[in-house]
């Protein structure tokens, strides 16, 4: 070793304690830092947990604003934690606050854009607010990211089912895919079966019904669907006889079964057994008074049975329903074609509100009217009469009344 002249040197033995001291100091410093970081971390986590606990407690007692504020505070402390967003989203969806769930989903999308299945949940929120068009678009967006997303497929098919006009080919394709993705989900099999029935695709329907009955041999509704397929079968009158058997089986499985009574009524009507048709159709209508269209068949049955007054009354009930149905469709189409014209959502909202139509749908179109024509007095009045429970002031109260534990 060479030592430069003029540089003081320490012997090796003397230098060792100094290095050790320095190392020790560093270690202590590190330890202190670690402790400080841990303390800070613990305090941070504790603060988040504190907010989450308070949010949960507030949610349990129906203090929605408080709960949301607590989650917001937690998110501020940990903006990249997906679990916090998810909790807030879950709460909003569980308690039916679809607009707030949407806000929370958008926040999650902004903070963590790669999060999976945001679009399908946004679609669910839109659908729950009766905005079928946006729901459909969002679910389709989800399918671009994940063509086999079961939820998005379910949503798309549901939204399409409620549209005045829809791509039936695509809907059948989606439903078919759903049924292959989730072959043992009887609900999807039912959706597919009903879609096929709507399109009179009875040949395609039969294997779907067979699958439903494989999943649940006591599924009464499946026998009803089979009954309608047999009613339309080309091999009449054998088809009528099979249909009667199907409906009888359905009724045996579920006696409180309006659909089976309607089917038996139709069979009897076709076979000219007027009195039996009247009895079956009347019983069916008693069980399912919302199925107003059956008055069409009932009117014919009454006429055939020589009951002209009853026939006319049933016909009037049918015509009233048919008029409402036709007008609803006409206005729905016009709302789509003239999206900036407040006349059509106003007419549709009022028509539904004043004629016992779907209140959610009526509210949706009345709100749409107010977006296009703020302060529209007719829409406002109808909306107030229609949905006092959905007014913002009473929302928390309603939520509290129906609150269920969400975790």
Which range of residues in 36-44, 47-55, 180-188, 274-282 is near other proteins by CB under 8 A? 180-188
Among 249, 252, 310, CA closest to 279: 310
The C-alpha R_g of the chain, in whole angstroms, comes to 32
Residue 128 engages other proteins in binding (rule: CB under 8 A): yes
d(CA 186, CA 118): 26
Alpha carbon dihedral 142, 145, 147, 151, in 10-degree steps, equals: -40
Mask for 252-281, x = binds other proteins (CB under 8 A)? ------xx--x-------x-----------
Among 122, 123, 182, CA closest to 158: 123
d(CA 267, CA 242): 10
Q: Residue for token digits 């079956």? A: 280
Comparison of 54 and 262: residue with beta carbon closer to other proteins? 262
Residue 110 engages other proteins in binding (rule: CB under 8 A): no
Residue 313 engages other proteins in binding (rule: CB under 8 A): no
Q: Six-digit token pair at 246?
A: 């199907």
Residue 326 engages other proteins in binding (rule: CB under 8 A): yes
Q: How far is CA 137 from CA 115, 142, 214, 403, in A?
A: 19, 9, 34, 31
Residue 116 engages other proteins in binding (rule: CB under 8 A): yes
CB of 128 to other proteins, least distance (A): 7
Q: Six-digit token pair at 306?
A: 């020589």
Neighbours of 265 (CB within 10 A): 27
Which range of residues in 28-36, 150-158, 207-215, 384-392 is near other proteins by CB under 8 A? 150-158
Residue 216 engages other proteins in binding (rule: CB under 8 A): no
CB of 264 to other proteins, least distance (A): 13
Q: Residue for token digits 């769930």? A: 101
Q: Among residue numbers 289 through 308, which ones bind other proteins (CB under 8 A)? A: 290-291, 293-294, 296-297, 300, 303
CB of 252 to other proteins, least distance (A): 19
Comparison of 37 and 200: residue with beta carbon closer to other proteins? 200
Residue 140 engages other proteins in binding (rule: CB under 8 A): no
CB of 228 to other proteins, least distance (A): 7
Mask for 31-50, x = binds other proteins (CB under 8 A)? --------------------
Contact between 171 and 143 under an 8 Å Cβ cutoff? The reply is no
Neighbours of 278 (CB within 10 A): 24
Comparison of 38 and 402: residue with beta carbon closer to other proteins? 402
Residue 341 engages other proteins in binding (rule: CB under 8 A): no
- How many residues make up the chain in this entry? 407
Residue 93 engages other proteins in binding (rule: CB under 8 A): yes
Residue 155 engages other proteins in binding (rule: CB under 8 A): yes
């Amino acid at each position: 070793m060479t030592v430069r002249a003029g540089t003081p040197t320490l012997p090796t033995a003397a230098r060792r304690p100094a290095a050790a001291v320095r190392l020790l100091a560093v270690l202590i410093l590190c330890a202190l830092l670690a402790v400080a970081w841990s303390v800070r971390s613990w305090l941070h986590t504790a603060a988040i947990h504190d907010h989450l606990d308070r949010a949960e407690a507030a949610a349990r007692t129906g203090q929605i604003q408080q709960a949301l504020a607590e989650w917001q505070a937690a998110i501020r402390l940990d903006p990249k934690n997906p679990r916090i967003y998810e909790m807030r989203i879950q709460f909003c969806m569980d308690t039916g606050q679809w607009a707030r769930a949407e806000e929370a989903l958008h926040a999650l999308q902004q903070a963590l854009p790669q999060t999976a299945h945001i679009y399908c949940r946004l679609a669910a929120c839109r659908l729950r607010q009766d905005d079928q068009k946006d729901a459909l678009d969002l679910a389709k967006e989800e399918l671009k990211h994940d063509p086999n997303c079961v939820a998005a497929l379910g949503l798309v098919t549901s939204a399409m089912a409620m549209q005045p006009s829809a791509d039936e080919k695509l809907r059948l394709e989606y439903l078919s895919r759903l049924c292959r993705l989730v072959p043992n989900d009887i609900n999807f099999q039912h959706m597919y079966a009903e879609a096929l029935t709507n399109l009179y695709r009875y040949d395609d329907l039969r294997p779907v019904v067979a699958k439903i009955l494989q999943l649940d041999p006591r599924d009464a509704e499946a026998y009803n669907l089979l009954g309608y397929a047999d009613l339309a079968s080309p091999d009449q009158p054998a088809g009528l006889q099979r249909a009667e058997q199907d409906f009888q089986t359905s009724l045996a499985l579920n006696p409180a079964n309006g659909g089976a009574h309607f089917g038996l009524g139709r069979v009897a009507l076709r076979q000219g057994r007027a009195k039996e048709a009247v009895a079956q159709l009347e019983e069916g209508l008693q069980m399912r008074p919302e199925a107003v269209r059956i008055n069409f068949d009932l009117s014919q049955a009454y006429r055939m049975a020589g009951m002209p007054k009853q026939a006319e009354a049933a016909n009037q009930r049918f015509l009233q329903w048919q008029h409402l149905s036709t007008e609803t469709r006409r206005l729905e189409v016009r709302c789509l074609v003239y999206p900036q014209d407040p006349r059509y959502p106003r007419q549709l909202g009022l028509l539904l509100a004043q004629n016992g139509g779907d209140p959610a749908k009526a509210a949706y179109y009345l709100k749409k009217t107010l977006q296009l024509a703020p302060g529209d007095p007719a829409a406002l009045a109808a909306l107030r009469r229609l949905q006092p429970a959905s007014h913002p002031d009473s929302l928390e109260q309603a939520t509290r009344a129906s609150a269920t534990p969400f975790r």
